[in-house]
Structure 1
């Protein structure tokens, strides 16, 4: 799994930071979370590819959605045929439909807009889900958690051979959870040769939000948490008034949720070209925090990766 930060600025873009967008590539699929103005150019600039199957919108403030009409039109110019699903917060479907037709016509390829409520599954795959969770902003909003299923335990080939299991199809049956019978009538059960299930990966994207219990629950044990960090300590009084978080608040939530890494994003333009102090303030609370930069890519390994 690979995460590319396409836009890390707050409401106003800067020369260094575009408005909000994050692309996640998983097992050949690409998912786009928020589509701030200029997102399609960022996709070109950073070489993420355009083969996106699902777009997930956290809320309808312009810095998170104004790139959608242009991206839809570019796909049309490129003769896209594949269907696109756009997921959005409750009560926002009509407005998103207006964005889809902002140029006066509908795309020639199928576009579906689905509203997703907190606690629901926005997208269910064979071995993963994208779940919506409640966030606290100044409008109807949700965050998203991409959660993989547990994987099979490791197969102990050496132990299987010690038990007399011949190399071949019986190995696969055991790894799939089926008992096998040997030629002498001995039955070997999966738990004898297969370890405990191994956890999948979890990537959580909050969009704009205050730090809340609901966000913390969604982020529990995340391999990567991408959290609103609009303000530094010196402007902390603005955070609750505007429905945002400080870098320190994001770090406190990350520590409580036991996440592996914290990416700070949605950085206010007031900090210009330097946002290093946000990272410094966050790392006073949570060591594995960093300020995301436009174009930065982050690999998300399995928790048990060597």
Structure 2
């Protein structure tokens, strides 16, 4: 996988504002396009920010209305666009009951199959070149974070070693880089480990969903390239954060620090921080000294390959 790009479709908590839509995040992973949550208006945000509609799967963190009601219109739009390939929807229980209602709302049936798959803490969804790990979190209802973990990449190809071993340039080089053993014209075999350096770790992206700060997210975000963490409230709203099982920006920063994450992006902002999230960012930065930003609708992050 070479491309890993995030586009924030909605960054507001509970209700939309003039500037921020409800929760939604589009992740482009090479040829795949994934959605994480689909609040009302997400499909318009996809048009607005140019993500395209060729979505392969949708992962729901939980089923509070502001995180999933947008799937109703989104699926209908896909049907009007002539989609034929299946769509997979993942989420914690009661995903099957709630999403079945959403899929079958209205008088017309969808022209493409929709598969609803319930996932729980520890479940892994394999994709081509990466996996999505479900992580249980601490919210008022059954909820998940998700960790997108890229497969390790082969080590760097040592051209000098390959030539010294008599490997002919061309397809044989490619086979070795893919992990295949090559047989030379004289019958000798050259293995990938003969010409490749140590495997290079893949990237790790963690999306917290709605949660109190919890050890499970810290573990999932260990050495993550990016932690996207909810930061609904500021320090003076700590009591409200506890009551609603959400996080403050300071707590999000603390999670990133304890995990050793490389970068932090705050999202899911209360409407009182809609146009001026500077206080949230300052509080998070008091805990986490790495790069930290507050997301806004249309904010795009592209994660580079690790060396």
Q: TM class, shorter-chain normalised?
A: over 0.9
Q: Is the 8 A contact 2:213 2:255 kept in 1?
A: yes
Which deviates the most, 262-271 or 181-190? 181-190
CA distance in structure 1 between the aligned counterparts of 2:17 and 2:185, rounded to whole angstroms: 71
Q: Is the 8 A contact 2:12 2:274 kept in 1?
A: no
Q: Does 1:268 align with 2:282?
A: no
CA distance in structure 1 between the aligned counterparts of 2:272 and 2:56, rounded to whole angstroms: 35
Matched length: 303
SS at match of 1:55: strand
CA distance in structure 1 between the aligned counterparts of 2:186 and 2:84, rounded to whole angstroms: 57
Question: 2:98 — aligned with what?
Answer: 95
Question: 2:18 — aligned with what?
Answer: 15
Normalising to structure 2: TM-score of the pair?
Answer: 0.93
Normalising to structure 1: TM-score of the pair?
Answer: 0.93
Q: Does 1:54 align with 2:57?
A: yes
Instruction: State the shift of 1:178 in Å.
Output: 4.8
Closer/same/farther in 2, CA of residues 173 and 75 from structure 1, 3 Å limit: closer
Closer/same/farther in 2, CA of residues 47 and 174 from structure 1, 3 Å limit: closer
Instruction: State the shift of 1:91 in Å.
Output: 2.9
CA distance in structure 2 between the aligned counterparts of 1:169 and 1:22, rounded to whole angstroms: 39
Q: Is the 8 A contact 1:69 1:103 kept in 2?
A: no
CA distance in structure 2 between the aligned counterparts of 1:65 and 1:177, rounded to whole angstroms: 41
Query: Once superposed, what is the RMSD of the aligned Cα atoms?
Result: 1.7
Gaps in structure 1 of 5+ consecutive residues: none
Instruction: State the shift of 1:187 in Å.
Output: 5.6
Gaps in structure 2 of 5+ consecutive residues: none
Instruction: State the shift of 1:223 in Å.
Output: 1.1
Closer/same/farther in 2, CA of residues 300 and 185 from structure 1, 3 Å limit: same
CA distance in structure 2 between the aligned counterparts of 1:107 and 1:179, rounded to whole angstroms: 47
- 1:10-47 deviation per Cα after TM superposition (whole angstroms, max 9, x unaligned): 00111111000000011121100001111111111111
